[in-house]
Amino acid sequence: MTDNLGPLRQVMSDLSEHGGTADMYERTLRRSRQVQRRRAVGAAAAAVFALGGTVAFAMSHRPDPLLPPAATPTSGGPQDPTCPSTQSLGTLVELPAGWSFASRPVECVETWAAVDVERPDASAVIYLFHYTAGTGWRLQDQGAGWDCKELGLTERASFCTS
């Protein structure tokens, strides 16, 4: 038995002449450019989201300006619109469980405000707030008293130790 592969070989030869060569180089370049564009778009999107997230986080942790600073020393309270109320200062801090603002009104001197905080162990601590134009009132410190000169105060205040 003999196989006659001659005609098959002739047909295969004819097909190979008409098929041409496959150009893999152009397809490789096109795919490489696609990958580069996708990576650039992905990196730009990640940068935009990171920047947007940072700005959103910063804006959500920025307190609104409450009131303008007191120009003169006052004993504070509802009658003085430039000195913040205990309630408005209470929105700036989260007191620990059992702590509360004392019934004594807020004391304002220049751009500083102090309020007494009562604790369950019957001891008191003072919360000191500072006003800055553009950012408003912010919690500065807590303690028993501060040096008026270090705070830049020219007037005497009850929360000052000297």
| 93 and 158 co-located in one domain | yes
| 48 and 97 co-located in one domain | no
Distance CA 10, CA 5 (A): 9
| 102 and 147 co-located in one domain | yes
Element at 114 (helix H, strand E): strand 112-118
Q: Is residue 17 part of a domain?
A: yes
User: Of 60, 82, 100, which marks where a domain is finished?
Assistant: 60
- pLDDT tens track for 1-13: 567 888 888 888 8
- pLDDT tens track for 31-86: 888 989 889 888 888 888 888 877 777 766 665 555 444 444 444 433 334 788 88
pLDDT at 18: 72
Residue 128's DSSP bridge partners are 114, 141
CB of 135 within 8 A of CB of 62? yes
- pTM, whole model, 2 decimals? 0.48
Q: Is residue 2 part of a domain?
A: no
The structural domain count of the chain equals: 2
| 117 and 37 co-located in one domain | no
End-to-end CA distance of the chain: 121
- pLDDT tens track for 104-136: 889 888 889 999 888 888 777 889 999 988 888
Question: Range of 40's domain?
Answer: 8-60
